[in-house]
Homo-oligomer: A and B are copies of this chain.
Amino acid sequence: MAPDRLSTTFAALADPTRRAILARLTLGETSVTELAEPFDMSLPAISKHLKVLERANLIVRGREAQWRPCRIEPRALKEVDHWLERYRRFWDESLDRLDNYLREIQAKEKKRSRKRRASPARKGVLK
């Protein structure tokens, strides 16, 4: 069975070099040679990564035979963003819980310091 599109996208993104290539391409379209420069990698190794990214529709390459510039194709990443949608409420909820927890701590802290302010006076009375 051929992997579904989202699986192909995630598999392509599961590599730090391929993600670094994508990050580089956010600056603009680039030739393979230019792309290879910051990496300690041979051109064929970079080309292999580019093929994976291209197959996953994460990049497109120009059709000029001499200079086939790569650029980001955003559709596949947009699908990841769309997929994430239903999970967003989970970290929003976690933030809400953290927020509530901090409020609780602050409330306790206030109560405690009010008691502290009150007790020396009482001590004074008891002396």
* Residues of A participating in the B interface, judged by any CB pair closer than 8 Å: 3-4, 6-11, 13-16, 19, 22-23, 26, 72, 74-75, 77-78, 80-81, 83-84, 86-88, 90-91, 93-94
Contact = CB atoms under 8 A, between A and B. Distances in A.
A10 B15 CA distance: 8
Contact of A74 (B6, B10, B94): B94
Contact of A88 (B7, B81, B90): B81
How many copies are assembled?
2
Contacts of A13: 6, 10
A7 B17 CA distance: 10
B86 A23 contact: yes
A77 B81 contact: no
B84 A80 contact: yes
A74 B86 contact: no
A101 to B, nearest CB: 16
A84 B16 CA distance: 14
B19 A6 contact: yes
Given A16-B4, A74-B91, A80-B80, A86 B11 contact: no
